[in-house]
Each structure stands twice: as C-alpha cells, then as structure tokens.
Structure 1
C-alpha cells in the first residue's frame, strides 16, 4: 500500500511554522554568544542552552547502530516519541490508534491525553499478533498501530513476518517498541527502515544501558518522519547534562554487552529454577530482561516477597495474564534471594 506522509499528518502540523530558538538560527561556533539571553558568567558548565538538534550525540549513536543520523530522533525517554507521534498523526476526537494487549500502557495513556480513540485487538494465547483480527479492525480513521517487541509484559518477540505483513497492508504508521531488543537472541527491525517508510522503531537507554534516570530514548524512522518529530518537539527537550553524560557513556558499549550477556545467563538460570517450584504453574519464554510467571496464588506470593523486601510487578489484571507476576532479572545475588524467598512458600 502506498505511504503518503503528508496525507497522514494533521493539517495544522503540516502547516506548522515551528518555533526557532537562537540555537536553531545559529548552529556554528562563535567567540562571543550574545544571541540567546543566557547568563554570560560560566560558573556552571550548563550556563549555555544545549544543542536542540542533538547533532554530536546523534552522530555518535549513528556509528553504533549503523544507521544514518537523519534517521534518529532523541527525546525524553521513548515516551516523548509516543506522545509526539500521536500528536502529529492523530486529530483529537477523529482518529484512533490500535494496540494489542497485553502491552505497554503508555500508548493508551497518551491516546487518552490527546482525546484519540483506542482500538484493541488481543494477542493470541501464544502472545503473538492476531493478523486477521487486526486487519479486520483497521478503519480509515486508524492512524497508528503500536506494537511492542519484545513485548511488555509477556517478554516475547513478535513475529517479524507478521509485522512486515502489517507494514505492507496498512496505510498508516506502524510503531514497534523495541525497548528490550538488546536482550533478545534475534536482531531488531532496523534493516526494514530502508524499505518500509511507515515503520517507526522506539529504543531506550533505560534498559540495557542502565541509564533509566537519564531519561533518553530514540525513535528510528525514515528522515521525513524524523523531521516532523524535530519540528514539533519542545525546543530544548534534552538537557546539556543528559547529552554530555550519554555521549561519554556510549564509549562503554563493550562493558554493556558483557552485562547484557550476564542478564541473559541469569534469565535462563532463574527461569529454570522457577519452573521447578511447586507454586509456579508456568514460566513464559522471554527475550527481555524479565520473566512473566504464572503462580497458583499470585497475590499471596506477591505479599510474601514484599515481606522479604522484594518487589515484583503484579500483572494478573492484564488480559491473558491472569495469575501472573512480572519479575525483573536482577544481579546474581538478588536473584538468589528471590529464589530462596519463593522456595519458602
């Protein structure tokens, strides 16, 4: 199906004249800066406004993920990209998004904030996409499909073939949230960006990179979509502190890969030992840094863990997740304490 970006954009966004900051109008190097009404005294390293285009940081990320810098948007967590995508492509009270529960809750929350409709098609019992049901649910007012792979809270990768078929059949935007893809045994979908102009991938530095407190996420897409996101974001959405810290942290990618491998090893160990416990009904396969586990009595299990100072996430009220707790993989020592506490039940 032909992809027409201009036809999908809200008319006011298409015609928007974006705000231009002082750092938009002048992007070079100067000896004296008297254009942005900043405090001229450099008592702090943050007395100047940060780069609103994240130029150096995007270029460095580009070299790590083998994707041109103009395919990269940086925001305050991937949540900012979710917000901006809905803002750009969905007219309040007129358009809708489609989600596949159980899934990450922010897609629905952001749609509600923008008064955008929500269509839901449950995953199959195997936590895969129900392609026929999704295609049947699509309407002319459906603008964005939000998918999560590896999925939160189930932990599994969604079928690449199913995602590709949806991309080819749908006239709107397909967003695949790959926040946990670094922990998967298969690569993400960046290779599809060159052939699928309606694909947007979401990534974050909060999980594998261990920088949740920094609040930096990415949207990866064709340059026309990235340009839209940069036009409508807040002028200085990433602080200089965040940009500088992340720029330096990116040099530690080898150490990060070692930690990812450790988490994968611990994921297998914890899953194996959980499966042997009498109060565990099922441990679902995971490509993420957590496990979805079905217990005989999840509420009493949750309370018992809490009494031992261990907090997990109760997901038993989510569709298809009845009786399930979501358990993040911790350090080996933390995982040992978890398993010991569960063995006491």
Structure 2
C-alpha cells in the first residue's frame, strides 16, 4: 500500500493556497516588492517571512544529514501534530492509537479533530505491548503515536518494538523525539528511507533552549512532507522565530556542551533524590527530567509549592500513581530542590 492511500481524499484533492512569497521564486536582492500589500517602511519585520523557512531548513539539513525536502517546520510541535491529524484522519471515522502514560496533546488533538482514540497502556517497565497494539488496530487506525524518550516516564522504547510496529502497523507511525538530544539512542530520522510510513517529530524547545520561540520540526518522506506543506498556513513560522532559530542552530557546539552539563546534573540529582526519605523509586531517564515515586505525590507537590518550587504531579497518569516529575535545572536549582525535599521529610 502506498502512503498516499492513507491520505484523506479531500486533502489529496486540495488545491493549496499560494502566497505572494510562494509565487515569487527569484532572489530578493535589489528587488522592489509590491506584491503582498505590506507596509513599505523597513523595521525588520514589515515583510512577510519566508513561507518555507529555507535558511532554517538548510541548517537543520546540514546538522542532521537529512535533505531539505524531508523537513517541515511548524509553530511548535503541536502545529506539526495537528497537520498530521488533518492529513491522515477522517473526522468521525478514523482512529489513532496512543500508549499512556504519554504526552497529553495526542488525545487533545484527536478530540479537536473528532478522531476516536484507542489506548494500549505501557507495560510495568513503560514499554509498548506490541501484540496488543497490533491486535487493537483496525482498518481505520491511521496513526500510532510513540513518544520516545517518553514523557512523563523518561525512558526510551526498545528499538526492536518500534521496528516491528513500523513493519506491521498498517498506518503511519509518529515517533515524537522531543527529548532525543538527551539520549544515547540514535534518532529514527536515520532510517526514514527504510520506512515510508514513518514520521519523526523534534523540537527546539528542549535541548536547544528555545521553548519561547515555538518551533517544531517534522522529518518524513518527500511525499508526506509535500502533503503537509499543502495544508499548513502560508506563513506559519514568523520572522522573529526564524531569526532566533538560525542564531541558535549556528551555536551547535554550545548546545552540545549544555546538554552534557544537563546530563551530568541529571546524574547528580538522581543520586541526591535516592537519599530523600520518602522517595521509593527513581525511574531510568533518557530525557532532561526524572520521574520518581513518592509516598504521597499530591501532598509533596503542595509542600514544594509552598516553598516556591514548581514541579509536575503525574499521579493521575496511568502507571504513575504517586509519581512526581522533576525537570533537571541548574546545580543551584537542584540544591534548592533537594534542601526543600529534605526539609519536608
């Protein structure tokens, strides 16, 4: 089956909007632009941004070794995910499969788009039940979401499980790699050519420290990227976001060093959490956060709030009863956290 067979018929038949900057293909040097009804007085942002974010994509292409035509950018990963829903899922007919505990926006976007949700809870060690996933899938199961490293658990899924799902699931497998820069496991973008049904999403919000600019990244086959480009808003990534992304992507060595500092501090924080009297378990993490089981998550969360420390209470998530999620901060922030935890023991 061709991947295009999974695209909604109305999307395949869609004639995409063509913006002024899409239609003009030449160089911008020494050109007088009177095509887009912009204010002509220069202030740095009076012109529409590049609708295809070419400079940002070129930098990502060089860093990741992925051709530009396999890259789509969005206003945060949430826009990228929403575009994937719109491309593949027919409202009130199709369904998706999620593996709780996982990132909550998959279900939110499914509800927004009137798509049914099938859930297969992760195992006790937070790994996918492959047979159950394949068993629950039907002819209308268009998307399978794998968050690896997973949020909120922090662990990566086994490569063998993911590979089997890519080969046997008769829909699109979306691997959310928001935290991949903190993991030693290779990104699945290295295997895009093997799996036409594979979509990998990443972000500049985590390791690259750009949460405030909202830039999400999608890597997939040329065919999928072409479809997503047809349905994205014409100027979905603004000029200021593109400028800041370009600056940060050029600082790749700095980012690598910051990631190493975060990983070192993660190890230090794990060791200190082990000594906290009410922490009973610390789960393995390939991300920039730690999931820990405590005696009473809600009580401990509220106690930390009273001390001016905000963490995440994940006790309501499947398999995460009495679990707290701690983002790895600076060494100074970790010391404040540990002192507070010990003071409420």
Within a 5 Å distance, the mapping from 1:228-267 to structure 2 comes to 228-267=227-266
Q: What is the match of residue 338 of structure 1?
A: 337
1:22 to 20, 23, 28: 20
2:4 to 3, 6, 13: 6
- Structure 2 Cα separation of the partners of residues 10 and 194 of structure 1: 23
- Structure 2 Cα separation of the partners of residues 186 and 136 of structure 1: 28
Within a 5 Å distance, the mapping from 1:69-148 to structure 2 comes to 69-148=68-147
- Structure 2 Cα separation of the partners of residues 323 and 141 of structure 1: 36
Within a 5 Å distance, the mapping from 1:1-345 to structure 2 comes to 2=1, 4-30=2-28, 31-42=31-42, 44-344=43-343, 345=345
SS of the aligned residue for 1:111 comes to helix
- Structure 2 Cα separation of the partners of residues 245 and 267 of structure 1: 27
- Structure 1 Cα separation of the partners of residues 126 and 73 of structure 2: 30
SS of the aligned residue for 1:208 comes to coil
- Structure 1 Cα separation of the partners of residues 297 and 27 of structure 2: 59
Q: Deviations over 1:151-177 (max 9, x none)?
A: 000000011111110010012100000
- Structure 2 Cα separation of the partners of residues 187 and 307 of structure 1: 40
- Structure 1 Cα separation of the partners of residues 13 and 293 of structure 2: 50
- Structure 2 Cα separation of the partners of residues 280 and 341 of structure 1: 13
- Structure 1 Cα separation of the partners of residues 121 and 131 of structure 2: 12
Deviation at 1:225, TM superposition (A): 0.5
Ranges in structure 2 where 5+ consecutive residues have no aligned partner: none
Q: Deviations over 1:56-107 (max 9, x none)?
A: 2101110011111111100011111110000110000000010000000000
- Structure 2 Cα separation of the partners of residues 166 and 299 of structure 1: 36
SS of the aligned residue for 2:36 comes to coil
- Structure 1 Cα separation of the partners of residues 338 and 96 of structure 2: 40
- Structure 2 Cα separation of the partners of residues 293 and 310 of structure 1: 16
SS of the aligned residue for 2:217 comes to strand
- Structure 1 Cα separation of the partners of residues 137 and 299 of structure 2: 41
Give me the CA root mean square deviation. Answer: 0.8
Deviation at 1:303, TM superposition (A): 1.4
SS of the aligned residue for 1:157 comes to coil
Deviation at 1:6, TM superposition (A): 2.2
- Structure 2 Cα separation of the partners of residues 33 and 278 of structure 1: 66
Deviation at 1:27, TM superposition (A): 2.2
Conserved 8 A contact 2:143-2:171? yes
- Structure 2 Cα separation of the partners of residues 258 and 273 of structure 1: 23
SS of the aligned residue for 1:144 comes to strand
- Structure 1 Cα separation of the partners of residues 112 and 302 of structure 2: 33
Give the stretch that moved more between structures: 301-310 or 117-126: 301-310
Count of matched residue pairs: 342
Extract structure 1 runs of 4+ deviating beyond 6 A.
none
Q: Deviations over 1:162-194 (max 9, x none)?
A: 111001001210000000010112221112101
SS of the aligned residue for 2:253 comes to helix
User: When the two structures are superposed, what TM-score results if normalisation uses the length of structure 1?
Assistant: 0.98
Deviation at 1:300, TM superposition (A): 1.7
- Structure 2 Cα separation of the partners of residues 303 and 170 of structure 1: 42
